[in-house]
Copies of this chain bind each other. A is one copy, B any other.
Amino acid sequence: MSEFAFNRVAFIGIGHIGSSLAHVMRRGKLAGSIIACARRQETRDAALRIGIADEVTADPAEAVKNADLVVIATPLSAYLETGKAIAGSLKPGAIVTDVGSVKALVAKELLPLLPKDVHVVPGHPIAGTENSGPESGFAEVFRNRWCILTPLPDGDATALDRVTKLWESAGMNVVTMDAEHHDMVLAITSHLPHLIAYTIVGTATDLEDTLKSEVIKFSASGFRDFTRIAASDPVMWRDIFLNNRDAVLEMLQRFTEDLTALQRAIRHGEGDKLQDLFTRTRAIRRSIVEAKQA
């Protein structure tokens, strides 16, 4: 076992990201034993079959008993219920972390429920595919991607260090930032793009039938890319929008203003305005290619 390994790790939720992290732990011998908690029998069976858990349970309280590390990897809407369920069974000194896409709610909703003698380290590995479920996970999904940790102001330094090393061993580049700042950055880079992709694909599904069948037939590159994004997990994304409401609405407002300005430019035939924007956006793509995120 690795020097920074955990004796016993509990996963609350073992979907795409949870199972991927469990694969990392197996590969690096980072956990003495792994227990996975899932509501559905099918998910628990899959976790055992794949070999990413030594034990499974449907009871979060049971799962966290004696665990040194608890990884909450459920949809955000289950955080409150999870916090209530595990609070009385957590081992003193245990580290509690999560992998959710919204971070301010961890301090706001989860933290107040938990005992003072555990160490909470909110985390967000920015990785994953549009697939869901324990069988879609794989260790390499994290390689060379960013992981953002949003440590609490009075958080334990050793706990932060151990969670950092865990994600680094998954091949991630780990950075820390303020939870509210994280939620704003993700609102524009991830949440708003998903909302827009969902919307336009929805707009297409509401077209008259003759037009709709041709939209599917002739889906050009733009629309096709949007449909891939709009095939992401519905519950996960519902929860993201509900739990990052203020930042998403703020970015959506800016986007709508910009779209309205473009709409006006098209209506009035203002080609220069269009060309100017389209030229500026090429530069951002170059920056992203240079930052090796493309």
Interface set of A (CB-CB < 8 Å, partner B): 77, 126, 128, 146, 148, 184-186, 188-207, 211, 214-232, 234-235, 237-239, 241-242, 245, 248-249, 251-252, 254-256, 258-259, 262-263, 266-267, 269, 271, 274-275, 277-288, 291, 293-294
Contact = CB atoms under 8 A, between A and B. Distances in A.
B284 A220 contact: no
B278 A205 contact: no
Contact of A189 (B219, B228, B271, B284): B219
Contact of A281 (B185, B201, B248): B201
Contact of A266 (B222, B230, B245, B280): B245
Contacts of A225: 193, 225, 228-229
B293 A224 contact: yes
Interface of A is mostly: helix
Contact of A234 (B77, B190, B223, B278): B278
B223 A211 contact: no
B263 A249 contact: yes
Given A215-B185, A263-B249, A284-B205, A190 B221 contact: yes
A6 B259 CA distance: 45
Contacts of A293: 216-219, 224
Contact of A222 (B194, B205, B216, B235): B194
Contact of A278 (B206, B238, B258): B238
A188 B203 contact: yes
Q: Report copies per complex.
A: 2
13 contacts: A185-B211, A185-B218, A186-B220, A189-B222, A193-B225, A206-B258, A216-B293, A227-B284, A227-B288, A228-B285, A230-B278, A239-B271, A241-B274
A146 B219 CA distance: 10
Contact of A288 (B196, B224, B237, B248): B224
A291 B200 CA distance: 19
A274 to B, nearest CB: 4
Contact of A226 (B193, B237, B283): B193
Contact of A229 (B202, B222, B237): B222
A203 B251 contact: yes
A281 B231 contact: yes
B189 A274 contact: no
B216 A288 contact: yes
A285 B199 contact: no
A202 B258 contact: yes
